[in-house]
Structure 1
Amino acid sequence: MLEILQQSAISAGRAILDIYNAGPEVTYKPDCSPVTDADACAERIILADLARAFPGVPVVAEEAVAAGFVPDIAGKSFFLVDPLDGTKEFIGRHDDFTVNIALIENGAPVAGVVYAPALRILYAAYQGKAVKTVIDETFRLDDETVIGCRSCGDRMVGLASRSHNSAETIAYLAEHGIADYRAVGSSLKFCLLAEGLADVYPRFSRTMEWDTAAGDAILRAAGGETLTMDGAPLTYGKRNQKDDSDFANPWFVSRGKP
């Protein structure tokens, strides 16, 4: 399975880079969030790959959901896809945008791929193992390394969203004595925790499940965790929520080894 997800993410990333270099066409959704032709192109590639390899598994994909297509996932394993996470970074020509593909079983992310095409780095997790792989100039997997969260020392390093930071996030970092933090785009924040380069990522602004699932899968496989504000693990497949839309996440805190 993992090889299929990796190759699909790489193929989508290759198409994204072509548009990145040529200059994307930007439009806006009803919620005023930007979307580009790269989002649509990458999603088509991933959906075709998943349909061919896993014909019986539903796929919840960001742009398809925006267009009103939501498959039946009740009682089923399913994929979550964000074809281009960090669209604002992509438009602003920052390199920290990613392709996210995750497999959800019983509400938990059990496999995931996060590919940063501009950085030529791919993170992946499956069966409790997290890895980081360099992608060479011919778009092949090269130099794979097993990764894991670090034990937190006296001086914690925090992560915050580059484009969606909030006063609550800054307050959380201050309350926990975390003066050293980096602003990073996309799901790479989860991967930096999984790699042992940071300790905590508080998120007190809106995210959707496709934004977080793949990175969360990698973090969990690396020994970390993502908890909601009541201390429960973040779950996936949230439908018919009383106070929010389908697949919307509550606030959460992701961290390396407790």
Structure 2
Amino acid sequence: MTWAPLLEPLGAACREAGEAIRAIRQRGCAVAHKGDQSPVTEADHAAEAILLAALARHAPGIPVVAEEEVAAGRVPELGDAFFLVDPLDGTREFVRGGDDYTVNIGLVVGGAPVLGLVLAPEQGRLWAGIVGGEAWVESSDGARKPLHVRHPGERLTVVASKSHMNEATRRFLAAELADADLVSIGSSLKFCLLADGSADYYPRLSPTSEWDTAAGHAVLLAAGGQVDGLDGRPLDYAKPRFLNPGFAATATWRGPPLGRYMPEGLEPA
């Protein structure tokens, strides 16, 4: 099946979801907490409803694993192809008033991401890609620019999580990349910085859910990058509990092994 025709309607759905999020933020919304103590807001639910409706229209019959649906105990039976949806990645930053949160749709086929869309509502920028095909970033006025990862220069630029920086990542960076420039940013925007040639490496030594990574992973692959699990093999999907123990996302520079810095209890599934 050709997936490229989905990019336009699903990109429009991401923008609609982003507008809903911004409207809710402007008028204010309460913050609740899920069982894992992660925050959730009305904006998460509103954006997810828009994305689920769009996927039902434009990709009927393909299962959708969406963050808030999973939190409510609604997990579909998966086939070879399924969507992973994070309607508001970076909710902590959103609640704090930060701008680096995103809307995400990723399509997985045969355990690998093949299509991704990442919208940054506050920037009005939409990153999109089909693995083996095109990748681009679109500004709010509709202008598009092709995405290509870069070759590293004299200094590496490393991106890391703003809200989930842990001691294992600090030890890794101090031991292996002390001379690199470090950019701390929230959400799936870290993948986008690699995809658009702004950074070289994104090591992750703390857990993420698959809906956090699938869209950005696909965009980065389409732009010429790579994402490997802690075992050094390409990061795959449909794992137990949809959990990624850790990974390394790279442009063209291949970093040192992460495994020996991995916190105990985060061994690859």
Tell me if structure 1 keeps the 8 A contact 2:83–2:105: yes
Which amino acid in 1 is paired with 2:243? A
Q: 1:21 aligns with which of 12, 23, 26?
A: 26
Which amino acid in 2 is paired with 1:117? P
Indicate the residue corresponding to 1:62 in structure 2: 67
Indicate the residue corresponding to 2:127 in structure 1: 123
Deviation readout 1:119-140 (Å, 9 max, x if unpaired): 111100024321011013xxxx
Q: CA deviation at 1:172?
A: 1.7
- SS state at 2:208 partner: coil
Deviation readout 1:124-174 (Å, 9 max, x if unpaired): 0024321011013xxxxx110001110122311101101000111122222
Indicate the residue corresponding to 1:164 in structure 2: 164
Q: 1:251 aligns with which of 239, 243, 246?
A: 246
Aligned residues: 246
Indicate the residue corresponding to 2:202 in structure 1: 201
Deviation readout 1:82-122 (Å, 9 max, x if unpaired): 00000001001110000000110111110010000011111
- Structure 1 stretches of 4+ with a deviation exceeding 6 A read none
Tell me if structure 2 keeps the 8 A contact 1:189–1:201: yes
Which amino acid in 1 is paired with 2:57? R
Q: Is 1:88 aligned to residue 92 of structure 2?
A: yes
In the alignment, the residues of structure 1 paired with residue 83 and residue 198 of structure 2 have an alpha-carbon distance, to the nearest angstrom, of 28
Which amino acid in 1 is paired with 2:234? P
Q: Percent identity among equivalent residues?
A: 51
In the alignment, the residues of structure 2 paired with residue 174 and residue 43 of structure 1 have an alpha-carbon distance, to the nearest angstrom, of 38
Indicate the residue corresponding to 1:242 in structure 2: none
Indicate the residue corresponding to 1:139 in structure 2: none
Q: CA deviation at 1:25?
A: 1.6
Which amino acid in 2 is paired with 1:255? T
Q: CA deviation at 1:11?
A: 0.7
What TM-score results when the alignment is normalised by the length of structure 2?
0.89
Tell me if structure 2 keeps the 8 A contact 1:24–1:91: no
Tell me if structure 1 keeps the 8 A contact 2:80–2:111: no
Q: CA deviation at 1:76?
A: 2.0
Tell me if structure 2 keeps the 8 A contact 1:15–1:41: yes
In the alignment, the residues of structure 2 paired with residue 18 and residue 88 of structure 1 have an alpha-carbon distance, to the nearest angstrom, of 18
- SS state at 2:119 partner: strand
In the alignment, the residues of structure 2 paired with residue 210 and residue 256 of structure 1 have an alpha-carbon distance, to the nearest angstrom, of 21
Q: Where in structure 2 are there 5+ consecutive unaligned residues?
A: 1-5, 254-269
Q: Is 1:176 aligned to residue 176 of structure 2?
A: yes
Instruction: Please provide the CA RMSD for this pair.
Output: 1.0
Indicate the residue corresponding to 2:108 in structure 1: 104
Q: CA deviation at 1:175?
A: 2.3
Indicate the residue corresponding to 1:72 in structure 2: 77
In the alignment, the residues of structure 2 paired with residue 196 and residue 67 of structure 1 have an alpha-carbon distance, to the nearest angstrom, of 38
In the alignment, the residues of structure 1 paired with residue 230 and residue 35 of structure 2 have an alpha-carbon distance, to the nearest angstrom, of 29
Q: Where in structure 1 are there 5+ consecutive unaligned residues?
A: 137-141, 240-245
